[in-house]
């Protein structure tokens, strides 16, 4: 049997579907069983090569990515996926050190789960991230049109962001963090408040996760990330989004 044998039928699966990438047969079999019980459409592969090919061809709604693969490092796979796709990624790893979790988030993971992990909890995390990913475009928190603040324009219908008319490629979590802050202009939030609002109260990461994402947003949106105009630091508190013109976002 090929190492890339898929647990789901060999056909083009209807969207949305979860792509499970792992060489851990025990984990994939347990997850496949649980996914079937939860009616989560899924496909399972064991190698990075097949995973990258599937994402390039069919764009799954979520990738559950094991860091331990037979033909590549899962962190490298995450980096390569983020080079061309905003697909949500949940990493599963036996690397439990904080530095490894931070690297995962810096590479673009939306969640990071350490082994050994509960199949039930992991399935819940998949469903939680999936709900955010598959939300209908009209779910825009009451905003019917683009928001423009200075050089930045955000279209909540398409989730497209531009700066001076140029498209800005944001990861899913970067967009979610920006959108949350923009909806509350001038209001400071602690790192924990942002974790709860954007990552969810069950997220087990550290406040450092927020710092990493703010740095990434500043790099992409600010003229000078060391002296930001929009994504400001609230000293000894956290972060806020500010309109440098003093106007109202519209």
Instruction: List, for residues 16-34, the tens digit of each pLDDT value.
Output: 688 999 988 888 899 989 9
- Asked whether the CA dihedral 201, 207, 213, 214 is positive or negative, the reply is positive
The angle that helices 208-221 and 172-182 make with each other, rounded to 10 degrees, is 90
Predicted confidence band of residue 118 (pLDDT cuts 50, 70, 90): confident
**Cβ proximity of 29 and 53 under 8 Å:** no
Q: Which residue has better confidence, 56 or 62?
A: 62
Q: Say if residue 56 is in the same domain as residue 105.
A: yes
Domain-located, residue 60: yes
Give me the pLDDT at residue 135, please. 46
Q: Say if residue 122 is in the same domain as residue 155.
A: no
Q: Say if residue 199 is in the same domain as residue 101.
A: no
Q: Say if residue 179 is in the same domain as residue 75.
A: no
Instruction: List, for residues 119-173, the tens digit of each pLDDT value.
Output: 988 888 888 777 655 544 444 455 557 888 989 999 887 788 999 989 998 888 8
**Taking phi first (over 0 means left), then psi (-120 to 50 degrees means alpha), and beta for anything else, what does residue 171 get?**
beta
CATH number at residue 187: 1.10.10.10
Does 240 have pLDDT greater than 90? yes
Q: Say if residue 124 is in the same domain as residue 152.
A: no
Q: Say if residue 48 is in the same domain as residue 125.
A: yes
Domain-located, residue 220: yes
Give me the pLDDT at residue 201, please. 66
Mean pLDDT calculated for residue range 98-127: 89
Final residue of a structural domain among 79, 102, 133: 133
Q: Say if residue 40 is in the same domain as residue 125.
A: yes
When the pLDDT of each residue in the chain is averaged and rounded to a whole number, the result is 82
Q: Say if residue 119 is in the same domain as residue 194.
A: no
Does 106 have pLDDT greater than 50? yes
Domain-located, residue 63: yes
Give me the pLDDT at residue 93, please. 92
Give me the pLDDT at residue 1, please. 39
Range of the domain at 174: 147-241
Final residue of a structural domain among 77, 99, 133: 133
Q: Say if residue 30 is in the same domain as residue 121.
A: yes
Mean pLDDT calculated for residue range 39-45: 87
Does 13 have pLDDT greater than 70? no
Q: Say if residue 106 is in the same domain as residue 170.
A: no
Domain-located, residue 11: no
CATH number at residue 124: 3.40.50.2300
Final residue of a structural domain among 100, 133, 166: 133
Domain-located, residue 195: yes
pLDDT exceeding 70 applies to what percent of the chain?
Answer: 84
Q: Say if residue 80 is in the same domain as residue 151.
A: no
Rounded Cα distance between 135 and 115, Å, is: 29
pTM of the model: 0.53
Predicted confidence band of residue 245 (pLDDT cuts 50, 70, 90): low
Does 233 have pLDDT greater than 90? yes
Domain-located, residue 192: yes
Mean pLDDT calculated for residue range 51-70: 86
Domain-located, residue 5: no
Domain-located, residue 138: no
Q: Say if residue 99 is in the same domain as residue 172.
A: no
- Please count the structural domains in the chain: 2
Instruction: List, for residues 200-209, the tens digit of each pLDDT value.
Output: 767 777 888 9
Q: Which residue has better confidence, 101 or 85?
A: 101
Mean pLDDT calculated for residue range 96-100: 90
C-alpha distances out from residue 69 to 20, 21, 45, 198, 239, Å: 12, 8, 10, 29, 37
**Taking phi first (over 0 means left), then psi (-120 to 50 degrees means alpha), and beta for anything else, what does residue 166 get?**
beta
């Amino acid at each position: 049997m090929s190492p890339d044998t898929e647990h789901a039928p060999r056909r083009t699966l209807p969207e949305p579907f979860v792509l499970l990438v792992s060489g851990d047969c025990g984990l994939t079999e347990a997850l496949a069983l649980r996914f079937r019980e939860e009616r989560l459409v899924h496909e399972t592969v064991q190698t990075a090569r097949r995973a990258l090919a599937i994402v390039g061809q069919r764009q799954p709604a979520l990738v559950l990515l094991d860091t331990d693969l037979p033909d590549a490092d899962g962190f490298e796979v995450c980096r390569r996926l983020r080079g061309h796709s905003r697909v949500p990624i949940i990493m599963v790893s036996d690397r439990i050190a904080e530095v490894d979790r931070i690297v995962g988030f810096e590479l673009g993971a939306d969640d990071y789960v350490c082994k050994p992990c509960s199949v039930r909890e992991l399935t819940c995390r998949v469903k939680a991230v999936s709900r955010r990913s598959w939300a209908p475009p009209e779910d825009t928190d009451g905003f019917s049109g683009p928001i423009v603040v200075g050089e930045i324009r955000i279209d909540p219908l398409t989730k497209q962001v531009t700066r001076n008319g140029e498209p800005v490629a944001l990861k899913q979590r970067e967009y979610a963090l920006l959108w949350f802050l923009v909806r509350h202009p001038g209001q400071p939030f602690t790192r924990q408040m942002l974790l709860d609002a954007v990552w969810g109260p069950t997220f087990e990461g550290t406040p450092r996760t927020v710092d990493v994402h703010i740095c990434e947003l500043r790099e992409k949106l600010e003229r000078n990330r060391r002296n930001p105009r929009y994504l400001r630091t609230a000293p000894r508190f956290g972060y806020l989004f500010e309109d440098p013109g003093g106007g109202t976002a519209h």
